[in-house]
Amino acid sequence: MNLPIEFEKKMKDFLGDEWEDFLYSYDNNRFQALRFNTLKVGKDKGIEQEIAGIMDKLGIPMDKKVTWADNAYYYDEDKRPGKHPYHEMGLYYIQEPSAMSAAALLSPKPGMRVLDLCAAPGGKSTQLSTYLGDRGLLVSNEINTQRSRILSQNIERMGIKNAIVTNEDSFTLTAHFPNFFHAIQVDAPCSGEGMFRKLPEAVNEWSPENVAICATRQKEILDNAAVMLKAGGTIVYSTCTFSKEENEDVIEYFLNGHPDFTVEKMERFWPHKQDGEGHFVAKLVRRGELLLDEDAYPQEKSDVLSEDITGKRKPSGKCAGKKNKRSTVKEAGGISKDNMELLNEFLDMTLTDDMADWIRNGKLMMFGEQLYRLPDIQVDLKGLKVQRAGLHIGEFKKNRFEPSHSLALALKSNEAKNIVDLDIDDSRTAGFFNGQSVTLGEDQIQKCKKGWTLVCVDGYSAGWGKVSGIQVKNHYPKGLRNKI
């Protein structure tokens, strides 16, 4: 690999005798890993046993674990777990191994209010959600509009119920969340020196000037994060670059400006020392007593979200260094009596009592014809650009309610009354993910009632279907088909 000359000179000076080993690492294959989603895996059986069964069907041995993250395993380059139905169902997330270190270092507790400030495409957010479980609040923010949509899609795929996805810059968020979060992840935009093997274009984009620009931006983001952190709270700062200017120097700057913080841990992951592309992590703890309460955040009379949540507004907002005109917003309203009747009819026929009550007893909000259940720890979203406000339940259409794909992926198979469970090796499984109807077997005909059914594969939810006779009409989203 042809590295920038100035980068080579800088790294030689920085690494000394280790330079040759570091340089040699660029000639090796890059490391790949997957991390299991414990919101879906390990609920009914022992997690090791369940993971072993999934890995066996993926054809991936379990002999090499990622030591700094829970339930994460390396896989060889010839494997393609991203093209498997299990991936589409959110059983695991494919992530660069050393990048898993940041969320593992933050490791928030259930019930906490957590912010992932620079969150796309979602690796760290989805990892943080496994620590929270279904308790607490996760706000996942991404400044770039298009990347925030990818982030929202990954939140959906992993079945996360208690996440809000915002599309803002860090300064805007400080006005909405002062002294609010118990834990904040700052995976700061950087010069991407650890991405050279994965993204060759990152080599062409590298320059000392870009490193300096990144460092300035990182300091600003970290300062803004401090405004939003509660006393006793923790910030984990991370980058995928090797530059001292963007790592240790940023931490030194921050500590000088924030004497109420201490560094609890600071670590580098080098590609010639660990099996990964490289990462820097630093754990910053604010002095004081951390109060782990779940009091709701004060709200205005009604929540206000941007029209983007209905998919109706055009991309806008500050992203990738471009200032665009801020979008207009509209008020979100409560559910009408007629729509509540339609929702109750669906819930009573389709879901178990506990799950149905969890939905109807929560904070339900309408955005256009779209219905969302907001997280139990509610926040004032007025004036923010929001891609996702909790769990998308479904949409009202011409005197009927149609459940969302988000709801399907958030459900366990034992939370639906009507299910069709397919085996991973069944030919109907690939057909379902590609948009085909499912023909019921004789035993399934006896069990399935007419109407909405949760289609599962090996006991894990995959999407919705609608039973009519011996056929299950496919309601898997058209935009997600033909990937298997």
Which of the residues are catalytic? 240
Assigned token pair, 231:
């006393």
Using CA atoms, how far residue 381 sits from 137, 173, 232, in Å, is 14, 10, 25
Crossing angle for the helix pair 248-257 and 208-228, nearest 10 degrees?
A: 40
CB atoms within 10 A of CB 361: 9
Assigned token pair, 365:
């909000």
DSSP 3-state helix, strand, coil percentages of the chain (rounded to 5)?
35, 25, 40
Q: Are 68 and 100 in contact (CB under 8 A)?
A: yes
Angle subtended at Cα 64 by Cα 61 and Cα 66, rounded to the nearest 5 degrees? 130
CB atoms within 10 A of CB 448: 17
The answer to whether the peptide bond before residue 259 is cis (omega within 30 degrees of 0) is: no
Concatenate the DSSP letters of all residues of 301-326 into one string: SS-EEEGGGGT-SPP-SSBTTB--PP
Rounded CA separation 169/319 (Å): 8
Q: What is the CA radius of gyration of the chain?
A: 23
Concatenate the DSSP letters of all residues of 209-272 into one string: HHHHHHHHHHHHHHHHHHHHEEEEEEEEEEES---GGGTHHHHHHHHHH-TTEEEEEEEEE-TT
Q: Name the DSSP class of 296.
A: P
H or E element at residue 420: strand 419-422
Rounded CA separation 88/461 (Å): 10
Q: Are 465 and 455 in contact (CB under 8 A)?
A: yes
Chain-centroid distance of CA 107 in Å reads 15
Rounded CA separation 340/360 (Å): 9
Assigned token pair, 309:
């949540």
Rounded CA separation 388/72 (Å): 27
Angle subtended at Cα 383 by Cα 378 and Cα 389, rounded to the nearest 5 degrees? 40
Nearest CA to 306 out of 229, 240, 389, 404 is that of 389
